[in-house]
Structure 1
């Protein structure tokens, strides 16, 4: 039986009395996709909120990275300032050593002149003795002259001894002062090398486990430290520290660092393989760089790691 327009009020009344019919009629008229549209909209809104939260986390991580980069730049600037101060200190030490050398040359010249004076006095005395032997009439005069020369000789000898004592004292004081300055400079260099070593290893993702310390093994090892790499393996890092690195020092450390006796003493002190031998220098000669590459030794400067070493597994 067909439904006409006159039947619509009755149909509306029945739908109001039976809500379940309205739901069925809505499903028929709108289709399942339109019915589910509000749920899809809510899911899209929720997904949008999640994306916004993720973007906010990314922004926070980016800010932290920028702060870390700023800290690294500041640390590099401080290291360069330390290097500048150390270079200026070295220049002053070289100037002091130059003045010491010039003073020593002047003192040697004075000693040479006094030696010549003594030689001339000796020769004069000998001539006077010969003159005395040839002419007895001039004996009194010769004796007078001889006495005067002897007095002058004694005075000169006293002056010479006083000058020599003064020179020795000045040289002693200068050597003591230079020694203290060089010791202080060496401690500053080693402290700076410790900071650079830790920074280089942390950039590799290694964690410091022990040290850095110095170690006396038939000659002092400047720095030794134990790190744990990203796989959890402990690695022993050995480093010689020099203000100015030369080829001879590279070759000497390469020979000593890989010798059986040296490795055995490390093991006796509780430091196990693998070993990573490094050299640190503020200034590195070209020949030293070539020697380090040839000997497969690690090379570190105040700017970071230049060469990675060949790892010593076992001897």
Structure 2
């Protein structure tokens, strides 16, 4: 038996009276896969944007069709009530209704085609989801391998850091030991320098006396060292009188070996240094003074340097090599004879 419009209206009224039948009818009409489509679509990524727009358009179309069907059913009901009085009008209306049902059938066919395309799109999305999951699984495996390698390398770096810290601690300890050794060495060198300095000064005094006496001069007091309050030190200071009656002071610096720089330092740090000259005057040294550099050994360039600087050069073995000329502590320069 064919399903007529009246049957459809009856079915509609029954569904209106029994809404709970609607879900059962939907379960009968719709397949399990279609029922699962909304749930599946909600889990898709943002790539479903265009598909969701298409579904929205499709939903609007279906809603429009449903509204049209409802309108047609209502019109059909009114037409059947007026059928007895308006048969000719009903026949024309039925013709129009058949035409519109044909349009609805065509619309339904197009809807089914769209649903078919939608199913194809869902299948394509499912395939894309499957590929994405496979890619994700591959990337996850790669990430796990990378993380394992990274953790291994961090462990190696941590061990290397620990070894480095141990080495630094050993180096710190070694540096401390070296500093301690250097302190002992410096102390030893200081004591050695004192011993050497005393030995050089002991050789300086007889050499200085012998030279003064060879010139007919006389030392008027002992040869003493003089510290200039942190500015420097003069190894030998003695008052002298020469045969011509002139009196003055001898200023002597003693070196194990005399280099040209030894002479330059004597001039710069004592003879021309304002504070050193003032300290000497405060200790009673008066002009003129005769500066002399004494050495156990002499560098071959030292005589020329002494002659240029107008400073005497005295050797423990050879005596006077370069005679000194008088200097003025007031002026900080040598005086002409």
TM-score by length of 1: 0.49
TM-score by length of 2: 0.46
Relative contact order, higher structure (CA 8 A, sep 6+): 1
Greater radius of gyration (CA):
2
The structure in which a higher percent of residues are helix is: 1
